[in-house]
Amino acid sequence: MKTLKILHMYADLLDLYGDSGNMEILDYRCRMRGITCEIDKYSVDSEIPDFSSYDLIYIGGGADLEQQHIAADLLRCREALKKAYDEGVFLFLICGGYQLMGKYYRDADGNDIPGLGLFDYYTIAPESRKKRCIGNIVIRTEITGKPVDVVGFENHGGQTNGVKSPFGKVLYGNGNCSQSEAEGYFEKNVIATYLHGPCLAKNPEISDYMISYCMNRGADSPAELAPLDDKLEIDCRKVMLNRLLNKK
């Protein structure tokens, strides 16, 4: 069976609210199915990796300071990373990582951190540092072909505008902007979201969407993933959905 190869970028700097747990979940869900999952790490000033040799590239979230810290290095990787994305490598991006794949992130002091401009959106933080989108969030996504209510936790000042294809519709919480209807950004090989949590621990369908995409990429006949027992995850999520959606 094919090995699923993941590159986790800036794990030492961008890892808010358990974001690196997303890698543990992908590894676990692969292992349970007999799929080998290899996770390499890349960080600032290392040799530019062959991004195209990976199935999935992951960047977690980070505060403004960490984003500033990695911005120049990320730009250095732009061409190789864009090539991989164009070839269909999956990009999974959380919060700070999500913001930096757009045109720019403007912080509360008005300083622009340049993004890679892979996508058209851009993010601006309000001048007041007190105006942040913080709390639990529920979004409904249809990426798997049927509606899935995804739960997570958001904490961002940045307001992301210009998203043409969101990851989901906000049922509770804020999303791309304060009180917005849309959350995240989606293409068949991109999930970019404000959801920490870590997001994949709470939402098994999203992990499986990515594993399935990676395993079937380039395959003549797509194979179904073997089902796993997700009762615990689904029960936990039901508690959150009841608590948050019934409040409205």
- Binding residues for ligand GLN, rule: CB under 6 A, are 16, 61-64, 67, 95-96, 125, 155-158
CB of 19 to ligand GLN, least distance (A): 8
Contact (Cβ atoms closer than 8 angstroms) between residue 216 and residue 62: no
Enter the tokens of residue 1.
């069976």
Of the pair 88, 117, the CB lying nearest ligand GLN is at 117
Residue 196 annotated in active site: yes
Cβ proximity to ligand GLN: between 65 and 232 the closer is 65
Q: Is 236 exposed, middle or buried (0-12, 13-18, 19+ CB in 10 A)?
A: middle
The active-site residue, picked from 95, 133, 199, 214, is: 95
Smallest gap from Cβ 66 to ligand GLN, in A, equals: 8
Find the catalytic residue in 133, 156, 196, 199. 196
Query: Nearest approach, Cβ of 100 to ligand GLN (angstroms)?
Result: 9
Residue nearer to ligand GLN on the CB measure, 21 or 158: 158
CB atoms within 10 A of CB 45: 7
Residue 199 known to be catalytic: no
The pair of structure tokens assigned to 169 is 């519709």
CB 158 within 8 A of CB 61: no
SS3 95: coil
- Which residues are known to be catalytic? 95, 196
